Amino acid sequence: MASEKILIIDDSPIDARFASKLLTEAGYQTTIVHDSLEALGTAKELRPDLILLDVTMPKMDGYQVCRQLKADPQTRNIPTVLYTIRDQFIDCLRGIEAGADDFIIKSLSGEDFLNRVKRILSEWEIGLGQSVEGVDLELLRPLQEVEDRQALVNALYSAFNKHVRETMNVFLGSHVTSVLVDRAIEKTATEHPFFRHLDSSQLMGMLLDPRMIEETSTGEIIEAFIRFNRELLQLVTKLTRTRPSGPKEARGIVKGVSDMVRELGAQYEDLKARAAPPPPTEEAPPTPVAEPAPVAISEPMNADCTIDGQGHLIYANDDLVRVLGYSKEELLGRRISELVDEQSKPMLDRVLDQVRDEGSGATKLILRSKSGGIVHAEARMTALYDAQGQFAMTRCNLMIIPTTQLLQERDREVERLKHALQEMSEEFANLASTISHDLRQPLHAILVLCQFLRDEYIHQLDEQAQGYIRSIEQAGTKMKKMIEDIVRYARITRTTNAYEQVPLDELLRQVEDELGEMIQQRNVHLQVVGELPTVTCDRERIKELFKELITNAVKFNDQAEPRVEIALAKADPEGYTFSVKDNGIGIEDTEHENIFRLFYRLHKPEEYGGTGAGLAICRRIVEAHGGKIWVRSRPGEGTTVLFSLPRELPTA
């Protein structure tokens, strides 16, 4: 029987008890915590063997709790598993970003749930990723004998990007790849501080701090590189388990790592033969890499060249000489790969292989001129054969794309993206309309039937059944309000209200009248400080904005006399910034951005009502006017919401 201690952190009593019952019957010791803030202290005190962490919780969601657990030395080594009703790939990716060690979906059967827990505990004990079938990272150990650190690091970068990063980009996409690589770097850096990501905008994605390379032995570099690849394979394994095509993706990425190891092994003798360079005489800060400028080309050009079987140029016409800025003597004998931008090298390798195998191929390439400028070209390549029919060389025609055409293509792409964004916005609005129509009717029927049961049969039902009816009504009412908020949120950018000159002092008097009952009941002191300007805006939307902000300021306020002050915080030639300040409960710094997410809640519904849509609607209104909204707040010190509006807006 199992005896491990498992901490269950879940604000849902039903889900927590269900998981606890299954685990207890299987022999595990369980502790349940419903409050996410309390859970952090419990985890330190209990030191469980596994933490089962719900994602959707008030105060702090599971991702935030996970980040804090992994940031604390006392809890970072406890396996933390996200336990969620969500099974979308993006949610699992967010979990990896937060440091989660694995995932369990709540919809699993009891048997599958227990098997998953057992497997996670077992893998954690033996160390998942220490040995992955098909990959022997220990074959990299001999490279620690290399003396030239910089040559070794360059070889590691090149092989990793060529075989591993490119393969991951193909299977998982560049964004997911970047997240996984960054996470693996973070985990490696806990033991190897010199192993860190300096700047995600760097072309190749640096893995080591170049300022520390000379202070680090090649043995340490190889040790860190092996650890990094193990961490990366571990993350890939966890993530691909959540995808239907996961096994195929995992096999492909493992093959990429194996190819990297094989290539580095083949370079061992050459790298070992290099003597270590003399130490630098003085330190200099790294020079920032400027974005290369395109070479100005006024009209299409046909640049021709011939490439031998080893990839060297043996012929180049005058147009290629002119556009790249080299002399013909400088070009001939140079490898074609030296003339291609780093991001185009994988495409060049593929098309050259295709020409050898199939006789021809085509691709788009970015070339680098002698001055460092970039040149865009469409390459068409054809194989040339010797008298025996054996492949001998490649003839390459490069259609150089003029600068004006590049700009036109970029403009068309911008327009395409704008159109796609507009279509997505319309689809979202249509979806909201469908939700409103198709869900409201059955929901209304449910609520009406509950009312009928309560009115006609209440005396025939015991207290438990009556409680069920109340729960159904409460859940139905909450769902109805959420549907209404979705519709409000979706309609904001589809408004047909014309922009007009609106005196905000007058508008605030209307808002105060419409909120009069709430203001009187809560004894609210609402004050407009100074004079407010007349702005060009959608009157109804800005009125809705102020009503939401004032209502929020009163709702999240525990004072006997809530105070709300509205003022013009700043005016400049571009526009205005307004503030809505209260003396309420305040907000943690870490939540200042989260509160603008749709349906995001900091508190339990029974503490403060509402759906959590108000501030998301406020942001949508402000952004529809071309402005921005943000918050300044600390717990116990009140909250100030600020938003900007431009002076001039086009009329609708």
Q: Where are the domains of the chain?
A: 5-90, 137-272, 301-401, 410-493, 497-646
Give the pairing type, strands 5-9 and 29-33.
parallel
Contact indicator for 191, 220 with CB cutoff of 8 Å: no
Higher pLDDT, 502 or 236: 502
List the Cα angle 537/623/434 in 5-degree steps: 100
Which of 8-12, 104-108, 284-288 is modeled with the greatest confidence?
8-12
- The reported pLDDT for the residue numbered 650 is 47
- The reported pLDDT for the residue numbered 573 is 83
Contact indicator for 76, 85 with CB cutoff of 8 Å: no
- The reported pLDDT for the residue numbered 203 is 30
Has residue 500 got a pLDDT over 90?
A: no
Closest CA relative to residue 566, chosen from 508, 515, 521 = 508
Residue 566: which pLDDT band, with cuts at 50, 70 and 90? very high
Rounded CA separation 107/18 (Å): 12
Has residue 127 got a pLDDT over 60?
A: no
Rounded CA separation 569/567 (Å): 6
Rounded CA separation 209/224 (Å): 12
Has residue 6 got a pLDDT over 90?
A: yes
Rounded CA separation 243/274 (Å): 45
The pLDDT tens digits of the residues spanning 380-409 come to 999 988 777 888 889 999 988 887 777 677
- The reported pLDDT for the residue numbered 454 is 82
List the Cα angle 25/28/32 in 5-degree steps: 95
Query: What letter would DSSP give residue 129?
Result: T
Higher pLDDT, 70 or 244: 70
CATH architecture of residue range(s) 301-401:
2-Layer Sandwich (3.30)
Has residue 210 got a pLDDT over 60?
A: no
- The reported pLDDT for the residue numbered 510 is 92
Closest CA relative to residue 482, chosen from 625, 307, 310, 612 = 612
- The reported pLDDT for the residue numbered 579 is 93
- The reported pLDDT for the residue numbered 286 is 35
CATH superfamily ID and name for 497-646: Histidine kinase-like ATPase, C-terminal domain (3.30.565.10)
CA 202, 206, 208, 211: dihedral to nearest 10 degrees? -30
- The reported pLDDT for the residue numbered 336 is 92
Residue 436 burial class via C-beta count within 10 angstroms: exposed 0-12, middle 13-18, buried 19 and up: middle
Task: Give the pLDDT mean for 313-326.
Answer: 88
Residue 101: which pLDDT band, with cuts at 50, 70 and 90? confident
Has residue 282 got a pLDDT over 50?
A: no
Helix, strand or coil for residue 202?
A: coil
Rounded CA separation 161/159 (Å): 6
Has residue 319 got a pLDDT over 50?
A: yes
- The reported pLDDT for the residue numbered 123 is 67
Lowest-confidence segment of 180-184, 309-313, 598-602 by average pLDDT: 598-602
- The reported pLDDT for the residue numbered 151 is 76
Summary mean pLDDT of the chain: 80
Helix, strand or coil for residue 367?
A: strand
Higher pLDDT, 199 or 75: 75
Which of 427-436, 444-453, 599-608 is modeled with the greatest confidence?
444-453
Assign domain 5-90 to a CATH class.
Answer: alpha beta
Strand order in the sheet with 525-529: 525-529, 563-571, 575-582, 639-646, 629-633
Measured CA to CA in angstroms, residue 457 lies from 72, 443, 446, 473 at distances of 55, 20, 16, 15
Can you say how many angstroms the Cα of residue 567 is from the centroid of all Cα atoms in its chain?
36
- The reported pLDDT for the residue numbered 397 is 93
- Does 410-493 carry CATH code 1.10.287.130? yes
